[in-house]
Amino acid sequence: YIVKKLYLSPKLDYSKLNKITQHTILMIQYFSADYVIPVTSDPIKNGIVAIEDGKIIGIYKELDSSIKADVKSLSGVLIPGFINTHCHLELSHLFNVIPEKTGLVEFIGMVMESRGNEVTKINKAMKNADDLMFNNGIQAVGDHANTSLSADIKHNSNIIYHTFVEIIGLREEEVNAKIDEARGIEFYFNSMHSSITPHAPYSCSKSLFKAFKKSITEDNIISIHNQESEEENKLFRYKTGEFLKFYERLGLDLEEFKAQARNSIQSYLNYLPTANRTILVHNTYTSIKDLDFITRMGRKVTLCLCPKANLYIEDTLPKAQLFSNH
């Protein structure tokens, strides 16, 4: 393409064409490894990856004999950078603070009690977590935030972050204030890589979902915690379970909340905007009926699984075998 473009230029000194094309080739770097894994096709033994200006421009079983270039050979596997689809960077300082297998409701309570406000400690933990992710091949992160504390870390990171600013609100009178608060926090993050999102069905009222739907545009990506605990389904199906005690401790009145006789996803998905891309996170207790419901709704839904978190908190795993057919 470059040669053709230069050929069409009336001012070109054709005696320099060979040098120009050689220089262009030298700008491309070639890397080989024991195996190259393109993801979209089978692994290639001793494959070669061509990179120009930080972008992959080609993957080859072998180079054409006409290309004279140095190929840097590496041992191991070459694979595109990983994406951490669900993260809470600002909670990095709570690593190993909360015991395992407490169940989600108890876990949430402990997070609320343990968050703290030691900014220096929080910043150090976030920086360490950011470095750990990048050094392990993670190049993009979908990160949930309740404050602007992680903004500087993300701005200076080698990782591209999309920040999901969470909205939490169960009191009817605070719906608009909670959305405004989230907008205020979102201001501190990259406007091209941030959006506001409901936190979870158990932490957002029906009124908040409706107000959220009216307040966003189609480019606002949603990432919502979904069916991480069976207690969430119990709440929506029967208005029973541990969440009621949790709300009572917080002084929240759920008198107007009505049991839906169906799982949470079937109760709240219709309140989310139809056209917006939506990530459902965890799905530990998502049933085949729930998957059928999501499919029938025709939404732009992606399921994100977090097995290590599920084992740590609930000591169980999502029924991933059900998802393969959907």
- Tokens for 205, please give them: 């009222």
Tell me the per-residue pLDDT of 228-270, one tens digit each, with 9 for 90 and over.
Answer: 999 999 999 999 999 999 999 999 988 889 999 999 999 999 9
Tell me the per-residue pLDDT of 114-171, one tens digit each, with 9 for 90 and over.
Answer: 998 899 999 999 999 999 999 999 999 999 999 999 999 999 999 999 999 999 999 9
Listed residue (224, 230, 239) closest to 294, CA to CA: 224
DSSP conformation class of 29: E
- pTM for the model stands at 0.86
Token pair 């949430």: residue: 108
First to last CA, the chain: 41
Token pair 């969440």: residue: 243
Q: Under a CB-based contact definition with an 8 Å cutoff, are residues 152 and 189 in contact?
A: no
The sheet carrying 222-226 orders its strands as 222-226, 278-282, 301-304
Alpha helices in the chain (DSSP H): 2-7, 17-26, 104-114, 119-135, 151-155, 175-186, 206-215, 230-238, 242-249, 264-268, 288-297, 307-313, 320-323
